[in-house]
Chain A
């Protein structure tokens, strides 16, 4: 009997390993090895020709002390993330709440709001350069027609990052979908009970809807923080850092350093700093969740 059980266990382990073996190999080749290698390279000078040369912490020293563009790119990225993450959440939440009422044509409207998020970034990037064009762009023409001040967007270092934020919020439809899915999971009876107690719509949102949405909000915050720190395609296509390096985002600079100047070691050092930042942010969001995320219990 015992023999049989252990034989079954052995077979299960063998089968389990077999099934996950593509990922085991893939993890080694495409994550573990490059992860360690880039850490090693970050202490070297390497330009694709010749051998990598060990230079200790010189890359890091140069990044933090001498390289102004590095500081600029970090600042730009933080600026962008700080605006984008809360704004996309609020907009997504508003749309989700509006779509969660009993209106007709819900699935069509949901599709419309989701649609911008699947447009290839190369195409939507080119499109938004023109939508936000300071002279002919449809947004500025409309602002002028309404006698409102028209910012110069991508021609003005103070307005270029907000321009990116607007475009990214437009394309963040999956936030809305995740929240909408969370909303349909809120039991109707809770609202009915609250109504009996005289709660208005705002009470219901603040005391019922939002607490029950917190797990979805945590998930969204983590993925959108990670995503906004890695913004690249739009930046490369739309402004390539201009004007005055105001849209030189972190990964755009990292790309330039690595694949235009071929300073591979320097690029790896930048990548590791990014990793530490993203990891710390994701981890602290996750750790903070015990204080604000509500995980409902079946009983109770």
Chain B
């Protein structure tokens, strides 16, 4: 009996050790980024690295703001991101409702389409869409970066919402229908309020994807003043190749908003992924 207890404790200890060492390893790159962003050039390549820089060079951040228009890029990114979030919340929730809470012959076909477009590589549609936007005169504007989101084409969200809507009892909407409630009012007044956690997860994912997206801004934006944070950062890297501390300060600035969001909403992130993975 005692032996068993000791071996249990040893095993438990090993698990702790491995998990914590692993977690530290996963955190080191990010820690290095922040620490390096606060170093003076002479300290950067010191090994072993000083994890608390001395002196702390806050001025690095002031210095990069002179070449890296962070606040402009931040506003640009927020603009595109909020339009996309609104777009997917409206369009994907409508579609998800249409294939879960309404009994009609086409719903399975639509669901099959929703799933199958997920495996189409973006490269396949990229060039014709570019040509289409070119003909519309939209290249160099923000429109190619958000208009599509209002048409429910980012079907990952539709799928996520469908999983959640299916768990909302049909009897609820049927009862409301018997009481003469219109389909739209059931969607708006019953299903959407119940689906708040799923909608929140969708908003988070879309926010993150637009925020981190690189290819679309790269292809469609031509004016440097309209760049997003990610694109601006890559451009900054191309022009300031050697100053590692400044490069890390710029990278930190692009990362920090995402970290803040994650800090407050990590449970929703994780639940959202779980929702799509479990019944996949």
Contact = CB atoms under 8 A, between A and B. Distances in A.
Contact of A219 (B23, B45, B277): B277
A170 interface: yes
A22 B151 contact: yes
Interface in B106-125: 106-107, 110, 113-114, 117, 119-125
A30 to B, nearest CB: 5
B230 interface: yes
A248 interface: no
A271 B218 contact: no
Interface stretch (A55-63, A78-86, A175-183): A175-183
Contacts of A130: 32, 36, 244, 247-248
Contact of A99 (B19, B32, B113, B247): B19
B237 A26 contact: no
Contact of B158 (A23, A33, A233, A255): A23
B193 interface: no
Contact of B274 (A41, A138, A181, A229): A181
B15 A23 contact: no
Interface string B19-38: 11011001111101100100
Nearest to B236: A126
A219 B94 CA distance: 26
B120 A103 contact: no
Contacts of A35: 120, 124-125
Range of interface residues on chain B? 35 or more
Query: Of residues B30, B104, B124, B270, which shows the largest number of chain A Cβ atoms within 10 Å of its Cβ?
Result: B124
A59 B113 CA distance: 30
Interface stretch (B52-60, B61-69, B195-203, B254-262): B254-262
A278 B119 contact: yes
Interface stretch (A10-18, A65-73, A149-157): A10-18
Interface in B1-50: 11-12, 15-16, 18-20, 22-23, 26-30, 32-33, 36, 44-45, 47-49
B230 A274 contact: no
B120 A177 contact: no
Contacts of A33: 128, 132
B82 interface: no
Interface string A170-203: 1000100110011001000000000000000100
Interface string A261-282: 0001001101110110011001
Given A30-B148, A115-B262, A264 B234 contact: no
B29 A170 contact: yes
Given A19-B95, A116-B26, A126 B233 contact: yes
B164 to A, nearest CB: 15
Contacts of B233: 120, 122-123, 126
Given A48-B134, A116-B26, A271-B126, A236 B258 contact: no
Contact of B132 (A34, A170, A237): A34
Contacts of B247: 126, 130
Contact of B29 (A116, A120, A259, A279): A116
Interface of A: 9, 12-13, 15-20, 22-27, 29-31, 33-35, 37-38, 41, 48, 95, 98-99, 101, 103, 107, 109-116, 118-124, 126-128, 130-131, 136, 138, 141, 145, 170, 174, 177-178, 181-182, 185, 201, 215-216, 219-220, 222, 226, 229-230, 232-233, 236-237, 251, 254-255, 258-259, 264, 267-268, 270-272, 274-275, 278-279, 282
17 contacts: A17-B104, A22-B94, A23-B110, A23-B152, A25-B151, A26-B150, A31-B120, A31-B153, A34-B125, A34-B129, A118-B269, A120-B233, A230-B121, A267-B123, A270-B123, A274-B121, A275-B123
6 tightest A-B CB contacts, nearest first: A26-B151, A19-B98, A16-B104, A178-B277, A34-B128, A23-B152
